[in-house]
Structures are given as structure tokens and as C-alpha cells.
Amino acid sequence: MKIEKEYVNDFFDSLCKSGVAVTSDAKADIAMMLMEARGKYLLERAEGYTDLYIDPNVDIVNSNPQVIQQVHDEIYDFLCLLLKNDVQSMLQIGLGHFAATHFVLSLLMDRICTIEYDDLHIQRYSDEINTKKETLICGDSTSESIIKQAEELGPFDCVFIDGNHSYEYVKLDLENYTPLVKKGGIVALHDANFEGERYGTPRVIRETNHNWEKISHSNEVGIAYFIKV
């Protein structure tokens, strides 16, 4: 299945330049609509996705992954935060089943790089990639070779850590990729609310001295971030 992503990017950019989407909220609204339309398209045409879908208003941990794998209002507020802080380059850790977060970020960014350990997730998205602005790196985010590849593409205005959610991985990802963010940039962690055997993000937040702020419209997900000084 081929989605002509470059045309989608051009369409979005034309809307922004035409004056239809001038404010950060308007740009985020259109990006979210395109992301959700893509999700419906995948569900209707691509085998292997239908069993992953749930209502996006249901907390993720209590159900199967959803198309966007984000709580709607949380990712919307996060996009607005990025736009209002003039974030133009992004590093993301974790592509996910649908690559939905990468997709919506790629509409708003001049360039985006995502690190993903599961080659199947990368293969699923490969037909959509716009090589003019998107880079996918396959491998373990804690590997020295993978970190070096990211370093060569940096620095970035923001890093969004949403890969392996264990305490060990979140801690290392935060340590390894914060240095790749420019001064005044944003460092963000997904799944900031849920604490469990495989979810260590809240513990990492407690143990670090950053000035954390939170975007939260759910009990189980949430996005925590700080501005790098």
C-alpha cells in the first residue's frame, strides 16, 4: 500500500501559506485531522491493523493500542506546545505500530528523525516516508552506534522519548539524547502517568532535577516535558 506522503506534506504546507492555518491551534487542528484520516485509511485498507484499533478516548493501558497510540487532547496540546516554541527539528524515540505520532510530527517539522528497534514497524511505514524531511533509524536506542547516527543528524529543537518504557531504557534515553537538544529546546517523555512493571517514566521524572511540566488528560498516559537550559 502506497501513500504519497510528499503530496500530503505539500498540501499541508500550502494550507499554512494560504492563510487557512495561521495560528498554532489551526495548524495543530489540520495536522490532527490528517493523522486521524490516515488512521481510518489504514484500518480500511491494510491487513494487520484492525485488531489493534480502539476508541482514542479510552486510556491506552486498559485496551489494545489505538491508531494514534496517544490520548487525543494530550497529543494536540503537545503539538501546540511545539508550534508555539518554534520547534522545527525533532528526534523521536519509538515509532510504534502505526507511526502515527511520527506522521503528524512530520507534517509540522522541517525535519524529523525517529529511532525504532522493530524493523516490522519501519517496514510498515516505509512506503509513506518523505525522504526530503524524514529519517528512520533501525536499532536499539541505547546502542552507541545508534546514538552516533542521531548525533550526526542533530542538534534538534526537541526530543520525544516514547520507546521502551522500562525504567532502565527511559533513564538511558534521557541521558543519551538530552545533549542532542539545543539550548531552549524541549525534552519530552511519553507515558508520564502510568507506573508499573514495564513502565518506569514516573520514577525517572522523580529522580531527576529538571523543571518538569505535564500535559495530562488521562490517568494512564500523559506527556512530561522540560525546557533545556
Kindly state the cell numbers that stand for 9.
Answer: 506534506
Average pLDDT rounded to a whole number, residues 16-44: 84
Kindly state the cell numbers that stand for 125.
Answer: 511505514
What number of residues does the chain have? 229
Residue 42: CB partners within 8 Å, gap ≥ 6?
49, 67, 98
Predicted local confidence at residue 58, as pLDDT: 55
Structural domain that includes position 121: 5-227
Kindly state the cell numbers that stand for 34.
Answer: 490528517
Predicted local confidence at residue 158, as pLDDT: 98
Average pLDDT rounded to a whole number, residues 64-84: 83
Q: Which of the listed ranges 12-21, 120-129, 151-160 does the model predict with the highest average pLDDT? A: 151-160
Could you give the CA distance from residue 138 to residue 140 in angstroms, rounded to a whole number?
A: 7
Q: Record the pTM.
A: 0.89
Match 532535577 to its residue by C-alpha cell: 209
Kindly write down the DSSP assignment for every residue of 197-229, as one continuous string.
TTB-HHHHHHHS-S--EEE-SSSS--EEEEE--
Q: In what order do the strands lie in the sheet with 111-116?
A: 134-138, 111-116, 89-93, 156-161, 181-190, 223-227, 213-215
Report which of 13, 113, 31, 15 is spatially closest to residue 72, judged by C-alpha positions: 31
Number of domains in the chain: 1
pLDDT in tens, 131-188: 999 999 999 999 999 999 999 999 999 999 999 999 999 999 999 999 999 999 999 9
> Is the distance from CB of 163 to CB of 94 less than 8 angstroms?
yes
Residue 34 maps to which CATH number? 3.40.50.150
